Structures are given as structure tokens and as C-alpha cells.
Amino acid sequence: MTTVTLYHNPRCSKSRQALQLLQEKQIEPEIRLYLDNPPSRDEVVTLLAQLGIEPRALLRKGEQEYKDNNLGDNNLSDDQLIDAMVAHPRLIERPIAIVADKAVIGRPPEKVLELVG
């Protein structure tokens, strides 16, 4: 059986929907409550590689931390954006499903099923 890891926020409806979709497929993912157990800088870098996206694409632009840290500034480097996500994990888009070296952002939640066939 393929191991699926889900970066999950139980307060987020999209995250709950993604979890339910996996469970309906008889997949019980390893849950990473990333707000309680934030990813390290190396983990964020790995996650970006698995997703195949730039740091800015992983940011939740509606969060207060986004505004407070002026993350809309296009002059900020990728390293600065990654550092912001490490310091403020609420900035990380959710949910994220990971299987081996691939990951998807579950927006819409059905996207998580792309990783499990």
C-alpha cells in the first residue's frame, strides 16, 4: 500500500474534504498537523520540489501574516518567502497530499486523488 501524507488543518473545510476523499478510497493517510508540527526549512524546500512550484505559489495570500510581513512585495527572494512560511506555517496552502516524491495541493480537494490513482 502506498503511504500518503496529508498536511492537514482540521479547521479547514477543504482539508477535511480531502481527508474524507482519501478515506473513501480506503486510504488512511499519515496526518501532519502542520500548524502544531510546522515543517522545517528543509521540509518546505523538499515540499516545493515535490509540488514543482515556486515558493510564492504555496503562500496563502489571505492570511494576516501575509499582509503583516509584506509578502506581496515582488522583490522578496524565494529564501525570504520560505523563511516566512517556516516562521508562520499558516501561510502554507492546504491541504497538501504527498506520495513518495510527488505532492499536490488539494484545491479542489479532488486533486489529492491524482496521487493515488
Q: Which of 5, 10, 12, 80 is labelled catalytic?
A: 12
Is 12 among the catalytic positions? yes
Residue located via cell numbers 501561510: 91
Name all contacts of 46-54 with Cβ < 8 Å and 24+ positions apart.
Answer: 47/7, 47/96, 47/98, 47/103, 48/82, 50/98, 50/101, 50/102, 50/103, 51/96, 51/103, 51/104, 51/105, 54/78
For the annotated catalytic residues, the residue numbers are 12
